[in-house]
């Protein structure tokens, strides 16, 4: 039943042989599900997003306090539960529109905006269709940890270009697919064993993870696979592929930095005195091929 629900595809002989090894490897560093995965309180996720953006580790931190949203028309692309959407409006945006493909998220975002007394527009989108918005609608588009999830990164980035006004800017942050821990997103509900999707075929990992969920009696289930997915909810977007996509689009200015695994954005930067051994990671995050596993976040600022 789970195989049907989660969209597991048939394996080749080699992929099937590797399943016990992948299951053992994933079991080395099991993840404990966060409480909000299992027993979520009303508006809990929206509040978490909002407080993160109000604090010192939110989306705008990656851009040194930008984007400037005051008096701007802003699109929060992949707005999640709407916490950041609300915060952008509080920061003085002329208008803020949030888009999301999950009805539950849009519903919570609307309730959260009402609870804050903030007027934002929240749209339930179909990810395979253009957004019901005219060309040249926004001065700023923000997208935080979204591009790795969309069905087609090429189509989505092209859609963002369409929606931007001339000189408008797309700000995007996301982890590359081969990030040692977060790239697969299995660390959220199965395992923190590093580099799993480099060591094993994705098809093998899907079956191994499914078996672990069954063995644990885990109630949380990831979304069913889409045709373009490598893992549940993950399109396999690498840093190299992202560069190829943006090179094909007519952005007038492109700024794309690779924040390394060891950087001031890490919560333990000071505690672990990471500045003393950060340089090799910074160098590796800017070398093709190596950058796929040494980059913590891709930070892109793309001007139309």
- Residue 174: both structure tokens together: 């996301």
* 287 within a domain of the structure (yes/no): yes
Strands (E), 234-294: 253-260
- Residue 113: both structure tokens together: 């905006």
Contacts of 278 (CB under 8 A, 6+ apart): 260, 262, 263
> Number of folded domains in the chain?
1
* 195 within a domain of the structure (yes/no): no
* 160 within a domain of the structure (yes/no): yes
Domain that holds residue 92: 38-177+238-303
* 251 within a domain of the structure (yes/no): yes
Residues 287 and 155: their CA atoms lie apart, in Å, by 27
pTM, full prediction: 0.95
CATH number at residue 270: 3.40.50.150
CB neighbours of residue 143 within 10 Å: 23
Q: Are strands 121-124 and 138-144 parallel, antiparallel or unpaired?
A: unpaired
Give the pLDDT confidence score for residue 136 in this predicted structure: 98
Give the pLDDT confidence score for residue 7 in this predicted structure: 63
Residues 207 and 252: their CA atoms lie apart, in Å, by 44
Which is nearest to 249 in space by CA: 174, 177, 176, 163? 163
CB neighbours of residue 269 within 10 Å: 14
The pLDDT profile of the chain, 304 residues, written as one tens digit per residue, is: 344 445 677 899 999 999 999 999 999 999 988 888 888 899 999 999 999 999 988 999 999 999 999 999 999 999 999 999 999 999 999 999 999 999 999 999 999 999 999 999 999 999 999 999 999 999 999 999 999 999 999 999 999 999 999 999 999 999 999 999 999 999 999 999 999 999 999 999 999 999 999 999 988 888 888 989 999 999 999 999 999 999 999 999 999 999 999 999 888 888 889 999 999 999 999 999 999 999 999 999 999 9
Which is nearest to 233 in space by CA: 167, 297, 188? 188
Q: Which residue has the tokens 């609300």?
A: 86
Element containing residue 287 per DSSP (H, E): none
Give the pLDDT confidence score for residue 8 in this predicted structure: 73
Burial (0-12, 13-18, 19+ Cβ within 10 Å), 78: buried
């Amino acid at each position: 039943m789970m195989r049907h629900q989660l969209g597991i595809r048939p394996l080749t002989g080699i992929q099937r042989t590797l399943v016990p090894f992948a299951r053992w490897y994933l079991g080395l560093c099991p993840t404990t599900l966060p409480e909000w995965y299992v027993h979520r309180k009303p508006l809990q996720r929206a509040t978490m997003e909002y407080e993160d953006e109000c604090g010192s580790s939110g989306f705008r931190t990656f851009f040194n306090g930008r984007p400037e949203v005051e008096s701007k028309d802003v699109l929060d692309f992949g707005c999640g539960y709407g916490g950041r959407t609300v915060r952008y409006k509080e920061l003085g945006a002329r208008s803020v529109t949030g888009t999301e493909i999950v009805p539950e998220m849009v519903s919570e975002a609307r309730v959260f905006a009402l609870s804050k007394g903030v007027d934002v527009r929240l749209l339930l989108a179909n990810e395979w269709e253009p957004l019901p918005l005219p060309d040249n609608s926004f001065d700023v588009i923000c997208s935080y940890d979204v591009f790795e999830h969309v069905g087609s990164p090429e189509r989505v980035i092209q859609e963002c270009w369409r929606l931007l006004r001339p000189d408008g800017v797309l700000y995007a942050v996301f982890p590359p697919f081969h990030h040692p821990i977060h790239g697969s997103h299995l660390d959220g509900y199965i395992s923190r064993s590093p580099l799993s999707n480099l060591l094993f075929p994705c098809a093998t990992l899907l079956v191994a993870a499914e078996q672990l969920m069954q063995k644990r009696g885990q109630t949380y289930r990831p979304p069913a696979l889409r045709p373009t997915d490598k893992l549940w909810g993950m399109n396999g977007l690498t840093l190299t592929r992202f560069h190829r996509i943006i090179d094909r689009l007519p952005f007038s200015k492109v700024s794309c930095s690779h924040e390394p695994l060891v950087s001031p954005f890490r919560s333990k930067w000071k505690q672990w005195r990471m500045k003393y051994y950060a340089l090799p990671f910074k160098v590796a995050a800017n070398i093709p091929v190596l950058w796929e596993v040494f980059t913590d976040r891709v930070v892109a600022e793309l001007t139309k």
